[in-house]
Amino acid sequence: MGILVMSDSHGLVREVQQVTGRHAVEKILHCGDFCVDHLREPFSRMTLVRGNCDTTKDVPTEQQTKWRYLNILQTHGHLFGVKSSLLRLHYRAEEMGANVVVFGHSHVPTCGVVRDILFLNPGSLQLPRGFDVPTYVILEQTGVTKSTVQVTVSFFDHRGIPVQSLGGTYSLRR
Protein backbone atom coordinates (compact mmCIF):
# COMPACT_ATOMS: atom_id res chain seq x y z
CA MET A 1 0.00 0.00 0.00
CA GLY A 2 1.10 3.53 -0.65
CA ILE A 3 0.11 7.14 -0.34
CA LEU A 4 -2.52 8.85 -2.48
CA VAL A 5 -1.55 12.41 -3.39
CA MET A 6 -3.95 14.93 -4.89
CA SER A 7 -4.19 18.68 -5.26
CA ASP A 8 -6.27 21.54 -6.57
CA SER A 9 -9.70 19.92 -6.34
CA HIS A 10 -11.25 23.42 -5.98
CA GLY A 11 -14.53 22.50 -4.30
CA LEU A 12 -15.08 19.05 -5.81
CA VAL A 13 -16.43 16.63 -3.22
CA ARG A 14 -18.08 13.75 -5.12
CA GLU A 15 -15.05 13.33 -7.39
CA VAL A 16 -12.65 13.40 -4.44
CA GLN A 17 -14.78 10.77 -2.67
CA GLN A 18 -14.63 8.59 -5.81
CA VAL A 19 -10.84 8.88 -5.99
CA THR A 20 -10.28 8.16 -2.29
CA GLY A 21 -12.70 5.22 -2.36
CA ARG A 22 -10.96 3.67 -5.35
CA HIS A 23 -7.59 2.88 -3.73
CA ALA A 24 -6.53 1.11 -0.55
CA VAL A 25 -3.77 3.37 0.77
CA GLU A 26 -2.10 4.10 4.09
CA LYS A 27 -2.31 7.88 3.81
CA ILE A 28 -3.97 10.57 1.71
CA LEU A 29 -2.17 13.87 1.19
CA HIS A 30 -3.97 16.85 -0.33
CA CYS A 31 -1.65 19.62 -1.52
CA GLY A 32 -4.10 22.49 -1.13
CA ASP A 33 -6.85 24.40 -2.87
CA PHE A 34 -9.45 21.92 -1.62
CA CYS A 35 -11.81 24.92 -1.18
CA VAL A 36 -14.36 23.20 1.06
CA ASP A 37 -14.81 22.74 4.80
CA HIS A 38 -11.73 20.77 5.86
CA LEU A 39 -13.79 18.93 8.50
CA ARG A 40 -16.09 17.48 5.83
CA GLU A 41 -15.65 13.90 4.59
CA PRO A 42 -13.43 12.79 2.94
CA PHE A 43 -11.17 15.80 3.63
CA SER A 44 -11.26 15.20 7.39
CA ARG A 45 -9.35 11.93 6.83
CA MET A 46 -6.57 13.58 4.82
CA THR A 47 -3.36 15.34 5.68
CA LEU A 48 -4.10 18.78 4.26
CA VAL A 49 -2.11 21.90 3.53
CA ARG A 50 -3.68 25.27 2.82
CA GLY A 51 -3.47 26.64 -0.70
CA ASN A 52 -3.88 30.19 -1.92
CA CYS A 53 -7.63 29.63 -2.51
CA ASP A 54 -8.32 28.03 0.89
CA THR A 55 -9.71 30.32 3.57
CA THR A 56 -9.37 28.31 6.78
CA LYS A 57 -6.49 29.23 9.06
CA ASP A 58 -6.87 25.88 10.88
CA VAL A 59 -4.86 24.12 8.16
CA PRO A 60 -1.10 24.77 7.95
CA THR A 61 0.68 25.88 4.77
CA GLU A 62 3.11 22.98 5.00
CA GLN A 63 3.33 19.57 6.65
CA GLN A 64 6.13 17.08 7.13
CA THR A 65 5.26 13.39 7.04
CA LYS A 66 7.64 10.56 7.81
CA TRP A 67 6.43 7.39 6.13
CA ARG A 68 8.61 4.30 6.10
CA TYR A 69 11.96 5.55 4.72
CA LEU A 70 10.54 8.70 3.17
CA ASN A 71 10.59 12.17 4.67
CA ILE A 72 7.88 14.03 2.77
CA LEU A 73 7.48 17.80 2.64
CA GLN A 74 3.94 18.74 1.64
CA THR A 75 2.96 22.25 0.59
CA HIS A 76 0.77 23.96 -1.98
CA GLY A 77 3.66 25.76 -3.64
CA HIS A 78 2.35 29.30 -4.02
CA LEU A 79 4.60 30.55 -1.20
CA PHE A 80 7.63 29.09 -3.01
CA GLY A 81 7.00 30.44 -6.52
CA VAL A 82 6.68 26.96 -8.07
CA LYS A 83 5.20 28.33 -11.29
CA SER A 84 8.59 29.93 -12.01
CA SER A 85 11.14 27.62 -10.40
CA LEU A 86 11.54 24.82 -7.87
CA LEU A 87 14.67 26.40 -6.39
CA ARG A 88 13.06 27.95 -3.29
CA LEU A 89 11.11 24.76 -2.66
CA HIS A 90 14.32 22.75 -3.04
CA TYR A 91 16.02 24.90 -0.41
CA ARG A 92 13.08 24.35 1.95
CA ALA A 93 13.21 20.58 1.35
CA GLU A 94 16.92 20.59 2.19
CA GLU A 95 16.22 22.55 5.39
CA MET A 96 13.58 19.97 6.39
CA GLY A 97 15.71 16.95 5.42
CA ALA A 98 13.03 15.85 2.94
CA ASN A 99 13.73 13.34 0.19
CA VAL A 100 10.25 13.81 -1.34
CA VAL A 101 8.31 17.02 -1.95
CA VAL A 102 4.63 16.96 -2.90
CA PHE A 103 3.06 20.20 -4.06
CA GLY A 104 0.36 21.67 -6.29
CA HIS A 105 -0.61 25.18 -7.39
CA SER A 106 0.46 24.99 -11.04
CA HIS A 107 -2.12 22.30 -11.93
CA VAL A 108 0.60 20.67 -14.07
CA PRO A 109 1.44 17.03 -13.32
CA THR A 110 5.17 16.84 -12.60
CA CYS A 111 7.52 14.15 -11.39
CA GLY A 112 11.30 14.09 -11.27
CA VAL A 113 14.39 14.02 -9.11
CA VAL A 114 16.44 17.19 -8.67
CA ARG A 115 19.65 16.86 -6.62
CA ASP A 116 18.47 13.77 -4.72
CA ILE A 117 14.95 15.05 -3.95
CA LEU A 118 11.83 13.75 -5.70
CA PHE A 119 9.48 16.57 -6.68
CA LEU A 120 5.93 15.45 -7.27
CA ASN A 121 2.96 17.52 -8.40
CA PRO A 122 -0.13 15.32 -8.87
CA GLY A 123 -1.77 17.83 -11.21
CA SER A 124 -5.32 19.01 -10.62
CA LEU A 125 -8.60 17.17 -10.14
CA GLN A 126 -10.52 20.26 -11.23
CA LEU A 127 -8.64 22.36 -13.79
CA PRO A 128 -5.75 20.43 -15.38
CA ARG A 129 -3.03 22.31 -17.23
CA GLY A 130 -0.34 20.78 -19.38
CA PHE A 131 -2.30 17.53 -19.60
CA ASP A 132 -5.68 16.67 -21.10
CA VAL A 133 -7.37 15.11 -18.07
CA PRO A 134 -7.50 15.63 -14.30
CA THR A 135 -4.84 13.59 -12.49
CA TYR A 136 -3.74 12.30 -9.09
CA VAL A 137 -0.90 10.05 -7.88
CA ILE A 138 -0.16 6.94 -5.88
CA LEU A 139 3.33 6.97 -4.32
CA GLU A 140 4.68 3.58 -3.23
CA GLN A 141 7.90 2.50 -1.57
CA THR A 142 9.00 -0.48 -3.65
CA GLY A 143 12.47 -1.30 -2.31
CA VAL A 144 15.06 -0.46 0.31
CA THR A 145 18.82 -0.89 0.51
CA LYS A 146 21.27 0.23 3.15
CA SER A 147 21.57 3.71 1.60
CA THR A 148 18.62 4.10 -0.80
CA VAL A 149 14.88 3.76 -1.01
CA GLN A 150 13.14 2.98 -4.26
CA VAL A 151 9.76 4.59 -4.95
CA THR A 152 7.26 4.16 -7.73
CA VAL A 153 5.05 7.06 -8.77
CA SER A 154 1.86 6.10 -10.63
CA PHE A 155 -0.36 8.79 -12.13
CA PHE A 156 -4.06 8.12 -12.71
CA ASP A 157 -6.71 10.10 -14.50
CA HIS A 158 -9.89 11.12 -12.65
CA ARG A 159 -11.57 7.82 -13.64
CA GLY A 160 -8.76 5.72 -12.14
CA ILE A 161 -7.13 4.78 -15.43
CA PRO A 162 -3.30 4.71 -15.26
CA VAL A 163 -1.52 7.45 -17.21
CA GLN A 164 1.47 5.59 -18.65
CA SER A 165 3.24 8.71 -19.96
CA LEU A 166 3.72 10.13 -16.44
CA GLY A 167 5.49 8.81 -13.35
CA GLY A 168 8.15 6.17 -13.00
CA THR A 169 10.47 4.48 -10.53
CA TYR A 170 13.11 6.48 -8.67
CA SER A 171 15.95 5.71 -6.30
CA LEU A 172 16.38 8.20 -3.43
CA ARG A 173 18.85 8.53 -0.60
CA ARG A 174 17.53 7.40 2.78
| Tens digit of each residue's pLDDT (9 = 90 or more) over 126-139 | 889 988 899 999 99
Name the pLDDT band for 23 (thresholds 50, 70, 90). very high
- Tens of pLDDT along 104-150? 999 999 999 999 999 999 999 988 998 889 999 999 999 999 999 99
pLDDT on residue 130: 83
- pTM: predicted TM-score of the whole model, two decimal places: 0.96
Which positions ≥6 away from 52 have C-beta within 8 Å? 32, 33, 76, 78, 105
Q: Give the chain's length.
A: 174
Mean pLDDT of 54-78: 96
Task: Classify residue 113 as exposed, middle or buried by CB count within 10 Å of its CB (0-12, 13-18, 19+).
Answer: middle
Helix H segments across 10-139? 14-22, 87-96
Mean pLDDT of 65-78: 96
